Amino acid sequence: MKKSIVLLLIMLLATSFVFAQGAKEATVSADAPLKVGVIYISPPGDMGYSYMHDQGTIAMEEHFGDKVEVIRMEGIPENESSERVMENLIDEGCKIIFANSYNYQQYMLNVAERYPDVYFEHCSGYLSADNMSNYFGRMYQMRYLSGIIAAEMSSSGKIGFVGAYNTPEVVRGINAFTLGARAVNPDATVTVVWTNTWFDPSLERQGSVALLDQGCDVIAQHQDTTEPAKAAIERGKYAIGYNADFRKIVGDDHVLVSPMWNWGNYMIPAVQSALDGTWESQSYWGGLEDEMIHLSPLSPLVPEAVADEVMSVQDKIHDGEWDVFWGELKDNTGSLRQNTGEKMNDEAMLTMDWFVEGVVGSV
């Protein structure tokens, strides 16, 4: 009796192996969805940087429907543990992995070397490999346009900018913003306050308040929360958002405009090429022509003439007729950095560590 039960159990076990095997084969059949791993530095609920990335991921999911399956990893620290997270995603069957913050790049490169069959996509860095691309957008073009609006709306000509860290990305943005402002008001100045943090609502607000106390009447920012903008609005001054449409979030037309990202416009072609088997490593820095970036709808407080002016400059950038860092450039100590007729190359832009004329502050 006992023997027969044991035999039955063994048979059950054996058949279950067969079933399990069958199930496993089914998942790797041709029409199984491509698994896409996405790693965010913060939860998308931050309404800022990772939120906009997730909007891109959602757009990508909607575009491909059941051809893809996305696994999101949120709030992953930029240290060795991110390698474990990537490996877990690969264990789950991910064939392409996106990571959205600068300091993941070395860890991603390490994992990319160990898994040559997986595609890696790193946002905002410069490292790449045969199976790893980096990508980013020319946000400075939108900063320039928002600078035009800021200077047109400012009555004092004193504009404030709350900046996170003095990285080339932020410095480039402040420079572009200042060039835009001074294109319409040559006397305008942009005063910079550094918070030394991407995210700290209290410090961001304090930076903004200090600028307002000094008479700035428009506040722009490269920070993750809406606090700098809110501090300006509470005093009846204007604000320029960033990342997401601050005018919608804050619910006040004193937010004149917000430069925004369209990450989906990179993620969709990248995933498409992975699906087609045509994926290739690249260093991608897309601008207006690829619609990687855009301006939010303008506040109704911005006069139509200003809106038209902004659109005409945007068209010129879009058509490649002109870009922000073309022509003569002086730094804010008065020395000449670029001659008339010269066009700054990408490398100079990506390593920018000086302020243009009109910026009050130091890098």
The residues of the shown chain that bind other proteins, judged by CB under 8 A, are 42-43, 45-47, 160, 191-194, 196-197, 199-203, 205-207, 209-211, 213-216, 225-227, 230, 244, 249-251, 360-362
- Provide the minimum distance between the beta carbon of 155 and other proteins in the complex, in angstroms, as a whole number: 17
Contact 317, 287 (CB under 8 A): yes
- Give the β-pairing of 259-261 and 238-240: unpaired
Neighbouring C-beta atoms of residue 156, cutoff 10 Å? 12
- Provide the minimum distance between the beta carbon of 250 and other proteins in the complex, in angstroms, as a whole number: 7
* Minimum CB distance to other proteins smaller for 230 or for 254: 230
Contact 60, 254 (CB under 8 A): no
- Give the β-pairing of 255-257 and 238-240: parallel
* Minimum CB distance to other proteins smaller for 22 or for 251: 251
* Minimum CB distance to other proteins smaller for 152 or for 224: 224
Token pair listed for 354 = 């000086």
* Minimum CB distance to other proteins smaller for 118 or for 255: 255
* Minimum CB distance to other proteins smaller for 69 or for 234: 234
* DSSP per-residue string spanning 166-233: --HHHHHHHHHHHHHHHHH-TT-EEEEEE-S-S--HHHHHHHHHHHHHTT--EEEEESSSSHHHHHHH
- Provide the minimum distance between the beta carbon of 50 and other proteins in the complex, in angstroms, as a whole number: 10
Helix, strand, or coil (residue 135): strand
- Provide the minimum distance between the beta carbon of 353 and other proteins in the complex, in angstroms, as a whole number: 15
Among candidate residues 205, 201, 194, the one with its CA nearest the CA of residue 170:
194
Degrees to nearest 5, angle at CA 349 with 343 and 353? 125
- Provide the minimum distance between the beta carbon of 98 and other proteins in the complex, in angstroms, as a whole number: 21
Q: Tell me how long the chain is.
A: 363
* Minimum CB distance to other proteins smaller for 96 or for 192: 192
* Minimum CB distance to other proteins smaller for 261 or for 325: 261
Q: How far is CA 106 from CA 128, 270, 291, 360, in A?
A: 10, 21, 28, 34
- Provide the minimum distance between the beta carbon of 22 and other proteins in the complex, in angstroms, as a whole number: 39
- Provide the minimum distance between the beta carbon of 213 and other proteins in the complex, in angstroms, as a whole number: 4
